[in-house]
Amino acid sequence: MTEILDVDLLAFENGSSKDRLAAIDGVMRSLITGFVYTKHDLSEGMLDETYEVLSKFFALPVEAKNEYVSPGSRGQTGYTGLLVETAAISDTPDWKEMLNWGTPLPDGHPLRDRYPHRYGDPVFPSRHIAEAAEVLTHFHECLVDLQTRFLRIIAAGVGANEHFFDTMLQHGSHLTRAISYPPMAEAPNNGQAGHVWAEEHGDINLITALPRATTRGLQVKVEDRWVDATPPDGHVIINTGIMLERLTNGLIPVGWHRVVADPSQTEGRLSVVQFCHPTPWTILSPIPSTISAERPCNFPAISAGDCLDQVIWEINLGAE
């Protein structure tokens, strides 16, 4: 299987038994690549509004964007500038800048007390863009809902109860990240210093949703070759992360990918992704239905929080 398939989340939710089985089968076959495209019910107007706010933010002067850096957040909220995040396989920082946000929990909540850098108050660019907090919060909530629903297909596909993931996702430390990739000609040494927009990597979380990007650049590693991710119109890209690989005992692998500009691309790129995380105290231990004599248990148990902290350190966000 070397093809990324497109499936229909809404058919799984509202269709016949045959429609549901077709969606499950398509997702499981496609996720051999770590990627799948799905139809969705996200509002195009909501997406337009979100991208308008983010375009305004990334067009601000560097001094203004730096007002929204959140020291000590480890890249979990606020602005992260250029040449900071570095893929675990590389020593060369990515040529990108980011704005990160999530949903805070009230003071006194045990998750916030125990994991303050996961559940701090989001840092929105409201001093420069008045509508930023409202628009970006709404986008975040819509994506959390979409990803929660999509994981029900995956749960059914691995032989678990359809709602297996629901509890661990309630108050999960979901992170939404807007990523601006400036033109490569503006990178150090006129783009000749070895930087790319985002070097080869796998995400740490359960799944990641990418509803839109302004131009091409995302590539998926399939059988040691790079394939352009080109979803049909009206589809969200879903890719799998390290935590899902652990929970499924390797049945669903990590979706390895990178973001690169080809020589003909002179413009930059803007995309927004959401990393779907369980609560940090969730223990990542393989689901029993994914363990068999042919597929013995390959992963020792680890908490989701510890797993995330390890990767944050590896990609150079530990001091953020």
Query: Reading across the β-sheet that carries 257-259, which strands appear in turn?
Result: 198-201, 257-259, 218-222, 225-228
Instruction: Give the separation between CA 171 and CA 6, rounded to whole angstroms.
Output: 29
Contact 42, 9 (CB under 8 A): no
Positions in the chain short of pLDDT 70: 1-2, 316-320
Contacts of 103 (CB under 8 A, 6+ apart): 119, 122, 137, 140, 141, 144, 174
- How far does CA 26 lie from the centroid of its chain? 21
- The per-residue pLDDT for 320 is 46
Q: How many residues does the chain have?
A: 320
Q: Indicate the pTM of the whole model.
A: 0.93
- The per-residue pLDDT for 113 is 92
Contact 250, 83 (CB under 8 A): no
β 78-80/257-259 pair status: unpaired
The topology under which CATH files domain 34-314 is Jelly Rolls (2.60.120)
Contacts of 86 (CB under 8 A, 6+ apart): 92, 93, 94, 199, 315, 316
Instruction: Give the separation between CA 256 and CA 226, rounded to whole angstroms.
Output: 10
| Domain ranges across the chain | 34-314
